[in-house]
Amino acid sequence: MAIWRKVLAPLICCIIFLVIFLFLKNGWIIDRRVAPGPEYGLLLFLLPGVITALIFRGSAIFSSFVGGVASIPLCFLLRMVFYPRVRPLVQEVAYATSAIFWCVLGAMLVQLLIIAYRQFRQQ
């Protein structure tokens, strides 16, 4: 049963990561009005980490990282096949790296809140 937990957690994170990527690239979630500007949509990549950490508490940070890294090739493949190339490859890699960062940060925030709650309950 433990092996399924180790496989299922990154898989769920990967699926949620891909869904958020597709929502942002299709424009179903509008995150900015002006084309050159900050990418507030990257904050949505907190959700795969948060959901993974809430479901699988034991390996939340590692599962979020593996799920994010596993979904990047699929995101690049979808980007090359279905969407016009707007940015150079270096910017795409930077976007993917920051998306993985936000995904892992979401898991870390949940872990921090769980530890803080446990400390509060012990007091």
How does pLDDT run across 10-33, given as a tens digit for each residue? 899 999 999 998 888 777 776 666
CA angle 10, 46, 2 (to 5 degrees): 25
How far apart are the C-alpha atoms of 11 and 5, rounded to whole Å?
10
Q: Kindly state the average pLDDT of the residues 91-116.
A: 92
Q: Is 48 exposed, middle or buried (0-12, 13-18, 19+ CB in 10 A)?
A: buried
For position 35, what pLDDT does the model report?
62
- pTM for this structure? 0.84
For position 49, what pLDDT does the model report?
92
Instruction: State pLDDT tens for residues 33-92.
Output: 666 666 778 889 999 999 999 988 778 899 999 999 999 999 888 888 887 777 788 888
Other C-beta atoms closer than 10 Å to the C-beta of 18 total 18
